[in-house]
Every structure is written in C-alpha cells, then in structure tokens.
C-alpha cells in the first residue's frame, strides 16, 4: 500500500511542477501515463523487494 501512495503522491507533484513546461497535448498524455502506471509499478517494485528481503531472513 505504501508503494501505491508514494506513486500517487509523486505523480501529483510531478504534474504540478514539471508538466507546466509542456504543451497541452504532451502534458495530458504524461498525466494519464503517470497516474495510471506509476502507482501500480511502485507497488509491484515494493512487493518484489519485500519478497527478496523476506528470503534473506529465512
């Protein structure tokens, strides 16, 4: 869950800072791509790293 939360927060902060330099079409595409893919990718990366960390302790 923390991966999803961090991904959403990072996506929103990125929208409000760096996407203001892009044109409308590019900004729209980047917003949709970031808000739909990054939170889930972050959650998957967090799960994979937690899995391997748990293997270390076993």
Q: Where are the domains of the chain?
A: 2-57
Band of the pLDDT at 1, cuts 50, 70, 90? low
Token readout for 14 is: 């990125």
Q: Which pLDDT score, from 0 to 100, does residue 28 have?
A: 81
Instruction: Please identify which residue in the block is written with the tokens 């270390």.
Output: 56
Go through the chain and tell me how many residues it has: 58
What are the helix (H) ranges across 1-58?
2-17, 24-57
Is it the case that residue 54 has pLDDT exceeding 90?
yes
Q: What is the mean pLDDT of the chain?
A: 81
The per-residue pLDDT for 14 is: 73
Structure tokens at 1: 């869950």
How many whole angstroms separate alpha carbon 39 and alpha carbon 5? 7
At 52 the pLDDT is: 94
Contact indicator for 37, 4 with CB cutoff of 8 Å: no
């Amino acid at each position: 869950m923390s991966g999803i939360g961090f991904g959403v927060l990072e996506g929103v902060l990125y929208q409000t800072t760096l996407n203001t330099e892009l044109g409308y079409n590019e900004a729209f595409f980047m917003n949709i791509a970031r808000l739909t893919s990054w939170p889930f990718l972050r959650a998957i990366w967090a799960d994979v790293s937690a899995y391997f960390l748990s293997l270390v302790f076993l």
